């Protein structure tokens, strides 16, 4: 492909926020000052039974956000999940730690800009993932014959220093901005995962070119 692609948002101000919530049969989920934005991904847990229509085994997209409420969809751009009862026990959402995978097939250069919000509250490690599987792998699931991906070496574009894929980049403390390039050619899928999260938020934007 000859046309560069810029501004692909892989992570959008993501920190592994977690909080309790309640759900109504209007499909509205309430969690005071939850801090989520439309497009965030979350997974759910409960001490007893989730509201009917929701599952602990699904990654949901956040939609229709207000300060204290939101709805959930099973796909980006989709409609809300139909919630038919309020469940029992205490329910919790947790932001998903894996970004939105980018189809990079046909591009030689894969660059990502990474910004932590810092301010003394960024502490996490960022790792870069890649796959040549034809269909998009589940980067949040274990590697397997039918779910092929691995951590990939990248290069810090400020210093030219290679960064081992298993190590990733550790963010700590004040605001930080990094530009990296995947140290590979011909990768089909790329993604980013947060590990060792303690606090802070991360935004990652991908650019593709030849």
| Banded pLDDT at 119 (limits 50, 70, 90) | low
105 and 90 both lie in a single domain: no
Mean pLDDT to the nearest integer, 70-75: 96
Output the domain CATH number for residue 121.
2.60.120
User: Which range, of 33-37, 107-111, 148-152, 177-181, averages the lowest pLDDT?
Assistant: 33-37
Query: What's this model's pTM, rounded to 2 decimal places?
Result: 0.78
User: Which range, of 83-87, 112-116, 154-158, 184-188, averages the lowest pLDDT?
Assistant: 184-188
The last residue of one of the domains, among 95, 110, 133, is 95
Output the domain CATH number for residue 26.
2.40.30.180
Q: Does pLDDT of 51 surpass 70?
A: yes
Domain membership of residue 28 as a residue range: 17-95
114 and 201 both lie in a single domain: yes
Mean pLDDT to the nearest integer, 181-204: 91
Mean pLDDT to the nearest integer, 107-117: 93
88 and 120 both lie in a single domain: no
Percent of the chain whose predicted confidence (pLDDT) is above 90 = 72
Mean pLDDT to the nearest integer, 62-89: 96
134 and 183 both lie in a single domain: yes
Q: Give the pLDDT confidence score for residue 6 in this predicted structure.
A: 92
pLDDT in tens, 158-168: 999 999 999 99
- Number of structural domains in the chain: 2
SS (H, E, C) the chain: CCCCEEEEEEEEEECCCEEEEEECCCCCEECCCCCCCCCCEEEEEECCECCCCCCCCCCEEEECCCCCEEEEECCCCCCCCCCCCCCECCEEEEECCECCCEECCCCCEEEEEEEECCCCCEEEEEEEEEECCCCCCCCCCCCECCECCEECCEEECCCCCEECCCCCEEEEECCEEEEEEECCCCCCEEEEEEEEEEECCEEEEEEEEC
Mean pLDDT to the nearest integer, 65-86: 95
What whole-number distance in Å separates Cα of residue 73 and Cα of residue 166? 32
Which comes out higher in pLDDT, residue 88 or 197? Answer: 88
Contact 62, 75 (CB under 8 A): no
Residue 147 has a CB neighbour count (10 Å cut-off) of 15
110 and 153 both lie in a single domain: yes
130 and 79 both lie in a single domain: no
Q: Does pLDDT of 23 surpass 70?
A: yes
Q: Does pLDDT of 118 surpass 90?
A: no
112 and 139 both lie in a single domain: yes
The last residue of one of the domains, among 48, 67, 95, is 95
77 and 105 both lie in a single domain: no
The last residue of one of the domains, among 43, 64, 95, is 95
60 and 125 both lie in a single domain: no
């Amino acid at each position: 492909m000859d046309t560069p692609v810029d501004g692909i948002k892989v992570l959008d101000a993501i920190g592994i926020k977690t909080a309790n919530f309640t759900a109504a049969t209007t499909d509205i989920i309430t969690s005071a000052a939850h801090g989520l934005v439309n497009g965030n991904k979350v997974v759910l847990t409960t001490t007893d039974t989730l509201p009917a229509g929701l599952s602990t085994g699904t990654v949901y997209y956040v939609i229709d956000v207000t300060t204290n409420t939101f709805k959930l969809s099973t796909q980006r751009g989709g409609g809300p999940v139909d919630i038919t009862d309020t469940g029992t026990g205490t329910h919790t959402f947790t932001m998903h730690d894996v970004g939105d995978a980018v189809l990079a097939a046909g591009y030689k250069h894969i660059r990502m800009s990474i910004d932590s919000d810092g301010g003394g509250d960024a502490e996490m490690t960022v790792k870069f993932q890649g796959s040549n599987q034809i269909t998009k792998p589940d980067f949040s699931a274990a590697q397997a014959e039918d779910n092929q991906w691995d951590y990939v070496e990248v290069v810090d574009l400020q210093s030219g220093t290679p960064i081992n894929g298993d190590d990733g980049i550790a963010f700590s403390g004040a605001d930080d901005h990094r530009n990296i390039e995947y140290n590979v050619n011909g990768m089909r899928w790329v993604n980013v995962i947060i590990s060792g999260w303690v606090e802070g938020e991360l935004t990652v934007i991908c650019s593709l070119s030849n």
